[in-house]
Structure 1
Amino acid sequence: MEAINFNDFTPMERYEIIKEFLIKMRQANSMPSAQRFFEHYLRKFYKPPDKVVNDIAYCQRAMKTYLLIHQTIVRVFGEQEDAVSTHLPPEITEYLSLLFFQDPVIKNSYLHELEEILYEVNAECQYMLLRLQDDIDRFCLAFSEQELKPDDEVINDIVSGAIVPLVVSVKVSLEPYFVSVRPTEQELMRKYFITSDVSAPQLRLHAYTTTVVKESRLNLQAALARTRTPQVDKAERPKEEFMQSVGLITHMEKQRINLSQELRQTGPKQYSLPPKKQKAPPQPK
């Protein structure tokens, strides 16, 4: 039987040939040999459906991407909040806190949205895995009717050998067949960190503020790249190097852009520091 090339037969012909063979093996009390043939048959002739494998790998890639963006948002908000509280002049700290860091609604809404999408992608992936399991069951039907079960390790080897290379290979482009199309990492970065331009509010701050805003526009892309790279321990950095490494200047611009959707709905909001208290003019006697 091991010399037969079952690829030359239709699924129904395979079923009939294997069924007759297994009946004879049971009558000869040679089921251990039948089990070994079962493993050989699986490894040599079972090929998972290409479209199902494609979509499982596509879902796995999408989940990795959404998890990466989720972690990036948590890290960026946390790092910038910590940096603002420690490394900026008081007037800049007050300005940024007024704009962003005292309001966790934006960050939480982003994270909640990503988590909901992760549930959806995982559900689609589980559905495709069920379709793959059904295909395996049909392939093994003649054996299961004779109370022979496929070896789990053999099945895992076959399935992982088909799916894992597609998940990890950056050179292989995947397009979904049965599941939803998901945005790429670059598209998600643009969605959550770079959207339409929003003009900076005009504030009467120290001259340093103007420099901050100009530098933020120039350094936005570099700061986004830094958020995806491992960072050195903060204690080992000078203050200036640390501020640059976490993209502090860029984050102000980035967070302002993240508010663009809300601004489009409610109109541009002008933020400013509370006016300084002025001495009251002397009352005429």
Structure 2
Amino acid sequence: MEDINFNDFTPKERYEIIKEFLVKMRNAKSMPSKDLHVQRFFEHYLRKFYKMPEKLVNDIAYCQRAIKTHLEIHQTIVSVFAQQADADPIIKDKYINELEEMLYELNAECNYLVLRLQDDIDRFCSAFTEQDVKPDKMVINDIVSAAIVPLIVNPDIALKPCFVMERPNEGQLIMKYFIIDGVEPIVENPHTVESPNPLSPSHSNLDMRKSRLNLQAALSRARANCKPAKKSKDDENKLTKDSILHAVGLCSHAEYKRLKLSMVLLQKRKPRSTEKTK
């Protein structure tokens, strides 16, 4: 069986060939699920002939990059505001809520993509699983990891989303929430007719600008101290979307919730600013 080039056959023909082989083994009173030769062939079949959907791989990697970027900016904003006693808490909450809403959307989209990938793997393995031959989870994790992780960690590889919405990159997020090197953030102003006495900026806009100016000095320190979250190892035996995410070093929804909880606890430990300190 290992000499067969399954690339010469359609998915339906592959299914029929493998099914017939396993049924013959069962009729010969050999249990395919316990046969080492069958397990070796299954691994060979997966590694050599399974091709992950390129668009799914691209978008999972894109979502993971975006999640990592938004988490880093989230941590930076929390750290910078903690160092500025006169920072406006309303503006801080606005920034944090925007980022957290985007993170929830990214997590939901990424989990959906992982479910689609799991379905694709299940279909490819159906000829084996229908005969009670289960795939080796380590082999599947290795295949998924080899396809996705290099796209996440290599910034030189440009990724454009196919199924999900495009998000701002790190530079765009920094320009949105901070003032860098004297360049002011872009503010959309409604079109107004020229007047000899132009209207002065609103109080809220002045407060936002003042807060951003105060945050500029602390940004570099906060970014220098910002460390990426450590990758957790998956100990579960059941092959689910979370196990695939953990196995290849991705960020699952549960991991994100734990990280968010740690941020909230960190904020609660910091003393609140009083009227005297503002």
* TM-score category, normalised to shorter length: 0.5 to 0.7
Q: Which runs of 5+ in 1 are unaligned?
A: 82-96, 201-212, 232-285
Distance in 2 (alpha carbons) for counterparts of 1:146 and 1:107: 57
2:94 corresponds, among 90, 109, 112, to: 109
- Answering whether residue 48 of structure 2 is matched by residue 44 of structure 1, we say yes
Alpha-carbon distance between aligned partners in 2 of 1:30 and 1:120, rounded to the nearest angstrom = 46
2:12 corresponds to 1:17: no
Q: Aligned ranges for residues 170-249 of structure 1 at < 5 Å?
A: 170-194=155-179, 195-196=185-186, 224-230=219-225
Task: Give 2:120's aligned residue.
Answer: 135
Q: Which residue number in structure 1 is paired with residue 38 of structure 2?
A: 34
Structure 2 residue runs of 5 or longer lacking an equivalent are 180-184, 188-199, 202-209, 227-278
Which 4+ runs in 1 deviate beyond 3 A? Answer: 222-227
Which one-letter code corresponds to 2:47 in the other structure?
R
Structure with the higher fraction of residues in helix conformation: 1
Counterpart code for 1:110 = Y
The DSSP-based 3-state class of the residue aligned with 2:105 is: helix
CA displacement, residues 30-76 of structure 1 (integer Å, 9 cap, x when unaligned): 51122221122111211211100000000000000000000110111
1:13 and 1:114 mapped to 2: Cα distance?
48
Based on CA coordinates, which of the two structures has the bigger radius of gyration? 1
Which amino acid counterpart does residue 118 of structure 1 have in structure 2?
L
TM-score (normalised: structure 1): 0.64
Aligned to 1:71: 75
Q: How many residues align?
A: 197
Amino acid at match of 1:14: R
C-alpha separation between the residues in 2 aligned to 1:184 and 1:59?
11
Structure 2 counterpart of 1:158, which letter? Answer: I
Could you say if the C-alpha distance between residues 23 and 115 of structure 1 is closer, same or farther in structure 2, counting changes exceeding 3 Å? same
Render the CA deviation track for 1:96-126: whole Å, top value 9, x for unaligned: x3xxx3x311111111111111010000000
Measure the CA separation in 2 of the matches of 1:41 and 1:193: 51
1:229-282 per-residue CA deviation (whole Å, 9 max, x = no partner) reads 139xxxxxxxxxxxxxxxxxxxxxxxxxxxxxxxxxxxxxxxxxxxxxxxxxxx
Question: C-alpha separation between the residues in 2 aligned to 1:184 and 1:25?
Answer: 54
Contact map agreement 1:124 1:179 (CA 8 A) in 2: yes
- Structure 2 match to 1:58: 62
Matching residue of 1:123: 108
Per the alignment, in what secondary structure is the counterpart of residue 177 of structure 1? coil
Q: What residue number does 2:138 align with? A: 153
Identity across aligned pairs (percent)? Answer: 65
Q: CA separation in 1, counterparts of 2:2 and 2:140?
A: 19
CA RMSD of aligned residues (A): 2.6
2:59 partner SS: helix
**What is the one-letter code of the residue matched to 1:52?**
L
